[in-house]
Chains A and B, each alone.
Chain A
Amino acid sequence: MKLVRTLIAAAATLAFAGAALADINVGVSLSLTGPGSGLGIPMQKQLALFPKEIAGQKINLIMLDDASDPGKGVSNTKRLVTEDKVDVILGSCITPVSAAMAPVAAEAKTLQISGAPVGVPPGQDHWLFRLPQGTEVMAHAMFEHMKKQGVKTIGFIGYTDAYGELWLKAASDEAAKNGMKIVATERFARTDTSVTPQALKLSSANPDAMIIVASGSGAAMPEKAIVERGYKGKLYQTHAAATPDLVRIGGKDVEGTFVVSGPAVVAEQLPDSHPSKKAAIDFVTNFEKANGPGSRNQFAGHSYDFAIVMQKIVPVALKAGKPGTPEFRSAMRDAMETMGRTVFSHGVMNWTKDDHWGYTNETGVMLQVKDGKFVVAQ
């Protein structure tokens, strides 16, 4: 009796192991709870529409919640690489967690595709690729627009954190490149209750345009303060502010503001010449069919693009080895670097050996707030 049971168990294990070998295991660690949940939940919703099969291989999604906590992200990653033996990891959607996960994934020689912009320096990001746009490509689109508008002098107000710092650097570089001048630089914290002093200083410098670097509903307060001081020039917001919250809090004060954004969220309004139009429309239609009209979101778009990546690299990697083997994993990573120009719903991606950010300058779209809605700026 005992022997029979052992035999059955052994057979079941063998059968299971055999099936598992042919499957591609995709580990996903997203912030489904905590402060990052506003980004993680839309990504998860789009993953529900992930293809069940790629190049004849069954795809297993192993979904974990990192609770917006870097420590949890690390233990998730450890679990994914040791127990689930995943071939690729998607995550996280916020920078601190992604950054904490990166060394663990790299040590296990597993490809990590981050849903957040992680500032790991080139050379140390061997196993790490990012889906969101870096600041440079967004700043490029913003400054192209400024150039057309004849802007010469710029005021800058941004968060006193990494996001503000990245933008300050990108804006300084772009300004120098385009012969513009940043005449005033002010900073504020997300928790500040008043930015009147900074607004005073900015508006007394009276630049042609101002860049406000803040995210979501926090982006409205500095803009309101600047408008209240009677500033009449052009106002620019960054892609973190391209959410309905900007309009909800800002009301009529943010009317006419220019906002740079990824193309996916404004699919229908993209000019036909935009390379991402087809992918973006496809993403928005399917996502909103599943989740209701108006539910589209920048981060759901990143999940959509993740599927495009997988469809491109899995067939290439299959030539090198079976899923679950180290050969397959490293072939996937190599395929990322050699996949070449690929059209995403969020722009055109071209990862190379030296650039694991990858977006070309065809990604940023300038929007303008008109009657409480985002429209593509002319």
Chain B
Amino acid sequence: MDFSIAGILALDGLTNGAIYALLALATVLLFAVTRVIFIPQGEFVAFGALTLALLQTGKVPGTVWFLLVLAGLAAIADVVDGVRHRHAPLRVARQLLRTLAIPVVVSAVAIWAAPRGWPLFAQALLTLALVTPFGNLIYRLAYEKLADASVLVLLIVSVGVHFALVGLGLFFFGAEGFRNPSFWDERFSAGALAITGQTIIIFGISVALIVMLYLFFERTLTGKALRATAVNRAGARLMGISSNGAGRLAFTMAAFIGALSGLLIGPTTTVFYDSGFLIGLKGFVAAVFAGLASYPLALVGALGVGLLESFGSFWASSFKEVIVFSAILPVLLWRSLRDPHGEEH
């Protein structure tokens, strides 16, 4: 191993690490606000990448119909809720509008635009608009009624949601994978390093998103409300912060981050319907490095996972996964020695 090989490996590791960082941030965000360990985070990645791939081929992706079905189910839940609590019809109607408006409009646009072969960038925006509402809807249908259940129950629901989404992914996108065209085809060479435009986009967007998340949590009222819910749900509720609203917002953000990661990773690798799981799992490992609590530590952990993976596959490619997932053990040991605590429910 010489310096140039180490450089190439480091670049490769950091590029993947940047994606894991985004997913780790989403995982930390969701756990902090809703106590949900969201295993299907990676499915948003696959949904994002494959929805764009199908739009590229001029087909209407299955996610469009899935979005409509989920929105329809949420609307039924709204009506049932309204009837049960004897809300005024106008209030129910307004709630229905809020539930249905975005999914229906976005789906209609997607169905209309799919055969028209929009430019790549417009299709990418459309993909984000299609996948992001899934966060809100999945939270409402799968988690909201259980919001006060134990972490374990929420984790079990996550496993169920994960399998459901993987199965639907196979149904929507088929067993074969897709590779998306690059957003920026430029190549730069610095010595032995070949940096592609896509790498620069990955780094740029990851950094920008992390800065935006920081500003959001530090400077805006909504961000502070989310943080308050994260610190103490009951206390935040007493202060007039809706914990359901916080959960929906957190899930929407997580779905957006997942879809964005999918768009970023799509041009660098072949994405299959079930690719999301391992990608999401590595983000989860990084989030565990951070004790599911700290954003900067999650970032460091994710870059660490990326580097470990890259150097690991260079030295012993058959044991790469073993190396990455074994690395979690000393970290867990260190964490449990540092701050021992009992079960909290």
Contacts of A6 in B (CB 8 A): none
Q: How far is the CA of A200 from the CA of B7 in the complex (A)?
A: 11
B272-A187 in contact (CB<8A): no
Q: How far is the CA of A197 from the CA of B323 in the complex (A)?
A: 15
Contacts of A135 in B (CB 8 A): none
B269 at the interface (CB under 8 A from A): yes
Given A200-B5, A218-B270, are A249 and B177 also a contact pair (CB < 8 Å)? yes
Given A188-B313, A217-B270, A228-B194, are A197 and B175 also a contact pair (CB < 8 Å)? no
Q: How far is the CA of A2 from the CA of B181 in the complex (A)?
A: 74
A193 at the interface (CB under 8 A from B): yes
B9-A197 in contact (CB<8A): yes
Q: How far is the CA of A37 from the CA of B5 in the complex (A)?
A: 42
What's the tally of chain B residues with a CB closer than 8 Å to chain A?
Answer: 35
Contacts of B5 in A (CB 8 A): 200, 204
Q: How far is the CA of A329 from the CA of B270 in the complex (A)?
A: 46
B8-A191 in contact (CB<8A): no
B270 → A minimal CB distance (Å): 5
A18 → B minimal CB distance (Å): 45
Q: How far is the CA of A217 from the CA of B177 in the complex (A)?
A: 6
Q: How far is the CA of A268 from the CA of B15 in the complex (A)?
A: 46
Interface residues as binary, B7-39 with A (CB distance below 8 Å gives 1, 0 otherwise): 011001001100100000000000000000000
B310-A38 in contact (CB<8A): no
Tell me if A's interface is mostly helix, strand, loop or mixed: helix
Given A35-B175, A38-B176, A220-B270, are A197 and B265 also a contact pair (CB < 8 Å)? no
Given A37-B175, A216-B176, A249-B177, are A200 and B270 also a contact pair (CB < 8 Å)? no
Q: Which of B70-78, B218-226, B245-253, B274-282 contacts A (4 or more CB under 8 A)?
A: B274-282
B310-A197 in contact (CB<8A): yes
CB neighbors of A among B241-268 (8 A): 265, 268
Q: How far is the CA of A298 from the CA of B19 in the complex (A)?
A: 37
A151 at the interface (CB under 8 A from B): no
B179 at the interface (CB under 8 A from A): yes
B268-A194 in contact (CB<8A): yes
Given A194-B269, A200-B8, are A218 and B317 also a contact pair (CB < 8 Å)? no
Contacts of B177 in A (CB 8 A): 216-218, 245, 249
B314 at the interface (CB under 8 A from A): yes
B270-A221 in contact (CB<8A): yes
- Contacts A193-B269, A197-B311, A197-B314 supplied; 4 other A-B pairs, CB < 8 Å: A191-B279, A192-B313, A197-B317, A221-B270
A343 → B minimal CB distance (Å): 32
Contacts of B231 in A (CB 8 A): none
Q: How far is the CA of A198 from the CA of B313 in the complex (A)?
A: 6
What's the tally of chain A residues with a CB closer than 8 Å to chain B?
Answer: 29
Which one of A187, A217, A218 contacts B318 once the chains associate, using CB atoms below 8 Å?
A: A187
Name the CB-closest residue of B to A190.
B272
Interface residues of B (CB under 8 A from A): 5, 8-9, 12, 15-16, 19, 170, 174-179, 194, 265, 268-270, 272, 274-275, 277-279, 309-314, 317-318, 320-321
Interface residues of A (CB under 8 A from B): 34-35, 37-38, 160, 186-198, 200-201, 204, 216-218, 220-221, 228, 245, 249
Q: How far is the CA of A221 from the CA of B178 in the complex (A)?
A: 10
Q: How far is the CA of A218 from the CA of B265 in the complex (A)?
A: 15
* Residue of B19, B176, B311 contacting most chain A CB atoms (<10 Å): B176
B310-A186 in contact (CB<8A): no
Contacts of A198 in B (CB 8 A): 313-314, 317
* Residue of B270, B312, B321 contacting most chain A CB atoms (<10 Å): B270
B217 → A minimal CB distance (Å): 29
Q: How far is the CA of A245 from the CA of B9 in the complex (A)?
A: 28
Contacts of B174 in A (CB 8 A): 38
Contacts of A195 in B (CB 8 A): 313
B336 → A minimal CB distance (Å): 29
A218-B310 in contact (CB<8A): no
A196-B275 in contact (CB<8A): no
Contacts of A194 in B (CB 8 A): 12, 15-16, 268-269, 309-310
Nearest 3 Cβ contacts at the A-B interface = A197-B314, A217-B177, A197-B313
B9-A200 in contact (CB<8A): yes
A160-B318 in contact (CB<8A): yes
Contacts of A201 in B (CB 8 A): 314, 317
A193-B279 in contact (CB<8A): yes
Which one of B8, B178, B277, B321 contacts A217 once the chains associate, using CB atoms below 8 Å?
A: B178
A146 → B minimal CB distance (Å): 23
A197-B176 in contact (CB<8A): no
Contacts of B176 in A (CB 8 A): 38, 216-217, 245
Contacts of B311 in A (CB 8 A): 197
Which one of A34, A187, A221, A245 contacts B269 once the chains associate, using CB atoms below 8 Å?
A: A221
